[in-house]
Amino acid sequence: MSDIPGDLKFLKSHEWARLEDDGLVRVGISDHAQEQLGDLVYVELPEVGAHVTPDSGCAVVESVKAASDVYAPVSGEVVEVNEALDDAPESINDDAYGEGWIFVIRPDDKSDLDALLDPDVYAELIEGDDA
């Protein structure tokens, strides 16, 4: 089990969110999620400028094995996407919480983050997933 950085919040659907100093929220999928998916080969990124909500998928990560929707942890506007993933989707496998980030949102309401799962709660949730 890899260590989960303490400054992250999680969705049950395995996305992570990090509130950065500039008030923007960086989003990716958890290390556990990338392990489950296996080798990633393609990431469909959202459009910069799009308004996204947690209700529908706004990106797609595809491994050799399966395609999986990525949800925005909070509502907001997409201000940046990780274009490096176009050529190196495997960054998500190698460094899910760092180089493997997927997009950045300007949240409509920062306090929406409070409703997300803390790392220890998420860790508990995924425990035994492999059994």
Contact set with other proteins (CB under 8 A): 35, 38-39, 41-42, 44, 60, 62, 64-65, 67, 86, 93, 130
Question: In whole angstroms, how close is the CB of 39 to other proteins at the nearest point?
Answer: 4
Task: Give, for 92, the enclosing helix (H) or strand (E).
Answer: helix 91-94
Question: For 21-83, where are the alpha helices, taking DSSP H only?
Answer: 31-37
Question: In whole angstroms, how close is the CB of 128 to other proteins at the nearest point?
Answer: 14
Question: Of the two residues 68 and 76, which places its CB atom closer to other proteins in the complex?
Answer: 68
Q: How far apart are CA 57 and CA 53, in angstroms?
A: 8
Question: Of the two residues 13 and 106, which places its CB atom closer to other proteins in the complex?
Answer: 13
Strand partners, 107: 76
